[in-house]
Amino acid sequence: MAYVDGACISMDELLQPKAEAEVAFVLDRDLATGNLDVDQCRAAVAYATAALEIVDSRIAEWDITFADTVADNASSGVYVLGTTRRTLEEVAPVEVQMTMTIDGELVSAGDGAACLGDPLHALTWLARRAREFGEPLRAGQVILSGALGPMCAINPGSTVTAEISGLGSVTAHFSTKPTI
């Protein structure tokens, strides 16, 4: 599921892909014990980076219900991480500004507050839920915050780039599907 910045992703791996720009957190400590409040979760982050999540759906036309989303593995597809790494002392995720382009055209814009008021709130929520289910977040894991702005459909041959202030940019190219 993981790709590096600038990767070419085959559309053969995807069905109805849509891109959304997110903050990715990479943990350097487990989040298994304690209160799992925002301060503890912040302290567990080694660094943050720009990310693209490519969501996908097996449900025709994305006409999905909550139950469909669960059955479809939360519409997961793939993700791409940027190369700029910043500690949370260097950047406040709630303050970031995001723009996303497809083939150079602005298709989405947003900010850190669009993600549950602060991307760290999303990390905190996930840490608590993961522990409740007996699978706490662990050092080395990559956690995607959730979208900073609207998601947008991707067509074969497209290039998607997200710019996130303080975290740099991340780009993915999508190869055309071969004809049969």
Widest distance between CA atoms in the chain:
55
Domain ranges of the chain: 2-175
Token pair, residue 65, equals 């219900």
Question: How would CATH label the architecture of 2-175?
Answer: Alpha-Beta Complex (3.90)
pLDDT cut 70: percent of the chain above it:
87
Amino acid at 32: A
Taking residues 13-42, report their average pLDDT: 95
Q: Where are the alpha helices (DSSP H) in the chain?
A: 38-43, 66-71, 119-132
- pLDDT tens-digit map of 34-82: 999 999 999 999 999 999 999 876 555 545 554 444 333 444 679 999 9
Question: Rounded mean pLDDT of 109-136?
Answer: 96
3-class DSSP assignment, residue 114: helix
DSSP annotation of 179 reads: P
Quote the CA–CA distance of 69 and 154 in Å, as a whole number: 19
Contact (Cβ atoms closer than 8 angstroms) between residue 57 and residue 86: no
Q: Comparing 7-16, 56-65, 80-89, 108-117, which segment has the lowest mean pLDDT?
A: 56-65
Average pLDDT over residues 18-45: 97
Percent of the chain whose pLDDT exceeds 90? 81
* Entry pTM: 0.89
